[in-house]
Chains A and B, each alone.
Chain A
């Protein structure tokens, strides 16, 4: 089964910008991968942020943006705030099934 890779951990300063990436071990991310991004804080259900690569949900803060970058899906946070500290998961439609990435633990320090 396909494995989807994310950075295990990243650290960013408040007010800074950080990009999280997501890619399958085989093949590239395309529009047909329909990337979704989720934020999860301890003890809570995942919170959807981005769908179909670049689209925001009505509740998604403007500082979050999604893109396709060199065969990977990317989530960029600009003007990071302390409350953005969380685990972030990507989800790709790959080989006819959904596959989650392993998650990125984002620390704001």
Chain B
């Protein structure tokens, strides 16, 4: 069965960086894409970016360009999202999701990132 398993919770300080991993199984990882989504406490969902594990194409919204790096490792079927220059506004649960052909169908369990000043 399709599974996306994310790395564990992180506690960071303002100005730090965080890198969240998302290990996929149960499907052809290298033929699909991965989107990253976050949710601040009590808030809605926010899309952070997408990467194709097939050809490495990347799509990032303006808000996160220059601060977010998304990568994949097709040998280990793992996607990564790195967020730099953290502030308290980045405290959120971060999700990865399988995203191919405009269909988002499987999600990771989420990774809580807490940023303290």
Cβ B63 vs Cβ A98 within 8 A: no
Which one of B16-24, B45-53, B74-82, B84-92 contacts A?
Answer: B45-53
With A45-B95, A45-B110 already in contact, the answer to whether A96 and B59 are too (CB < 8 A) is yes
* B interface residues, how many (CB within 8 angstroms): 21
**Chain A interface SS verdict (over half):** strand
Tier of interface size on chain A: 20 to 34
- A residues near B47, Cβ cutoff 8 Å: 91, 97-100
- A residues near B105, Cβ cutoff 8 Å: 48, 51, 57
C-alpha spacing A103/B45, complex, angstroms: 8
Interface check A81, CB cutoff 8 A: no
Which of A36, A97, A102 is close to B104, meaning CB atoms less than 8 Å apart? A36
Among B62, B105, B108, chain A packs the most CB atoms within 10 A around the CB of: B105
C-alpha spacing A48/B95, complex, angstroms: 13
- A residues near B63, Cβ cutoff 8 Å: 1
Which residue of A is nearest B46, CB measured? A100
Tell me how far the C-beta of A87 lies from the nearest C-beta in chain B, rounded to whole angstroms: 8
Residues in chain B within 8 A of chain A (CB atoms): 35, 37, 44-47, 50, 59, 61-63, 95, 102-110
